[in-house]
Amino acid sequence: DDMGSVQKLTNIFSKSFTVETLDSRKQLKYRQTWSSNMTNASSPEIVEVPADATDYTCVSFVPDVARLTNDASALSISKEDYALMCRRVLDVAGCSAGRLRVTLNGVDVTMGSFPDYARLYRKQDSLPVCFDAINSRWTVGVGLSETGSFEMVSFVNGMATSRGGTHVNSILQQVIKKIQEKIEKTDPELVQMASQGVIRRHLFVSVAALIENPTFDSQMKECLTSSPADFGSSFSLSESFIKSVLQSEEEGGPGIVEEIRRAAQSRQQATLLKVIGGKTSKRQLLSIPKLEDAHHAGTKSGSECTLILTEGDSAKALAVAGLEVIGRARYGVFPLRGKLLNVREAAVSQMAKNAEVTALCAIIGLDFDKTYETIEERRKLRY
């Protein structure tokens, strides 16, 4: 089996390897040592112990650094390998949640719960992470990503699944669905922009699960492949937990929905920019039906130009007739058809599909990267 292979390989790559275990029911203690890369084995030591002795198993070894590094002169493991071992000690402390006494170099590693462990991956001043112990087999945490990319800490039966898997996906699906429902209720025009991918990129998720007979995609056991039907336990998130996940910063929550809303609005803005934003060429202006453009529009004298908007073609004809008197140098005319869309209340998608609004933005030369709060910016408009 896998654990047996791990023990044998550790023994083979060690100068010495010792196993010691005590069984209070049989009142016996066993101890045996192997040396020289498992070449030599001492005789087993089996002694009687009192019935009230404490059960334990202790495995200790001295790694053969020269064989592990292919460097005959190496005396110790690398800093990176040592750091990895230290991290694994923290993993054990976090997943055991106080049920085991864990020490590192003789110092107790205190970790009260899995949430305490998961918070080590967060900055001290970051927004809160909501945690839920679904049952004795699942502990889940959800918060806002600090990097703008999906962040995850996950374990299966105490093993770090650095690439996640079906246990993480099962939690993600529930969270994403609830966030989408929230946005659809409060901001229906943003639903299309708040896709599963957009929401996922804004999440920090931590999962510690006990799975029956787990299967993985490789011997590294970094990604769980077990079907959710075979998990052996329920993993449905509670309504109270979902409610806390959806809370805003002002309500003391993680602010996930607000951040996703901002991201969706930015995507909408980008969509609008593609349709009507940026500079407009003369050829594009000529393609706008019924526009009578001022001669100086779009030049250094553009800020002195006025665009006359009329209601229908008849009113446009009257305005054009008047320009025969005062001239077309600084005056343009564009007819509107019926009631113009109220852009203050319209969704970005509505504006992008409205021919008159997109035409007006092009005629005026609006740049959506500018606020036009300064005279310098306003002077760059065509009208």
pLDDT tens digits, 150-184:
999 999 999 999 999 999 999 999 999 999 999 98
Using 50, 70 and 90 to split pLDDT, how confident is the model at 78? Answer: confident
Where in the sequence of the chain do the CATH 3.30.230.10 domains occur?
114-268
Q: Is the pLDDT of residue 95 over 60?
A: yes
Domain 114-268 has CATH 3.30.230.10: yes
Q: What type of residue is 23?
A: D
Q: What type of residue is 278?
A: G
- How far apart, in whole angstroms, are the C-alpha atoms of residue 210 and residue 136? 9
- How far apart, in whole angstroms, are the C-alpha atoms of residue 166 and residue 225? 6
Task: Collect all residues with Cβ–Cβ distance below 8 Å to 190 and sequence separation of at least 6.
Answer: 183, 261, 264, 265, 268
Contact 235, 224 (CB under 8 A): no
Where in the sequence of the chain do the CATH 3.30.565.10 domains occur?
2-77
pLDDT tens digits, 197-240:
999 999 999 999 999 999 999 888 999 999 999 999 988 999 99
Q: What type of residue is 2?
A: D
Task: Collect all residues with Cβ–Cβ distance below 8 Å to 305 and sequence separation of at least 6.
Answer: 294, 296, 297, 330, 331, 332, 382, 383
- How far apart, in whole angstroms, are the C-alpha atoms of residue 8 and residue 38? 8
- How far apart, in whole angstroms, are the C-alpha atoms of residue 380 and residue 298? 8
- How far apart, in whole angstroms, are the C-alpha atoms of residue 3 and residue 9? 10
At CB < 8 A and 24+ separation, what contacts does 298-301 make? 298/365, 298/382, 301/330
pLDDT tens digits, 248-304:
988 888 999 999 988 888 887 777 766 665 556 666 676 788 888 888 988 888 889
Where in the sequence of the chain do the CATH 3.40.50.670 domains occur?
277-378
Could you tell me the two tokens for 228?
């959710």
Domain 277-378 has CATH 3.40.50.670: yes
User: Which of 31-35, 104-108, 342-346 comes out lowest in average pLDDT?
Assistant: 342-346
Concatenating the DSSP letter of every residue in 87-121 gives: HHHHHHHHHHTTSS--EETTEE-----HHHHHGGG
User: Which of 39-43, 125-129, 289-293, 371-375 comes out lowest in average pLDDT?
Assistant: 125-129
User: Which of 213-222, 236-245, 368-377 comes out lowest in average pLDDT?
Assistant: 368-377
- How far apart, in whole angstroms, are the C-alpha atoms of residue 24 and residue 172? 45
Candidates 138, 174, 170; CA nearest to 157 is 138
Taking phi over 0 as left and psi of -120 to 50 as alpha, with beta for the rest, 298 belongs to left
At the fourth CATH level, the homologous superfamily of domain 2-77 is Histidine kinase-like ATPase, C-terminal domain (3.30.565.10)
- How far apart, in whole angstroms, are the C-alpha atoms of residue 58 and residue 206? 30
Percent of the chain with pLDDT over 70: 95
The torsion defined by the Cα of 147, 150, 153 and 156, in degrees rounded to 10, comes to -170
Task: Collect all residues with Cβ–Cβ distance below 8 Å to 260 and sequence separation of at least 6.
Answer: 179, 183, 194, 198, 199, 202
User: Which of 116-120, 145-149, 253-257, 364-368 comes out lowest in average pLDDT?
Assistant: 364-368
- How far apart, in whole angstroms, are the C-alpha atoms of residue 15 and residue 252? 54
Q: Is the pLDDT of residue 108 over 70?
A: yes
| pLDDT (0 to 100) of residue 337 | 84
Query: pTM for the whole thing?
Result: 0.73
Candidates 267, 269, 243; CA nearest to 256 is 243
- How far apart, in whole angstroms, are the C-alpha atoms of residue 274 and residue 232? 50
pLDDT tens digits, 9-55:
999 999 999 999 999 999 999 999 999 999 999 999 999 999 999 99
The torsion defined by the Cα of 120, 126, 127 and 132, in degrees rounded to 10, comes to 0
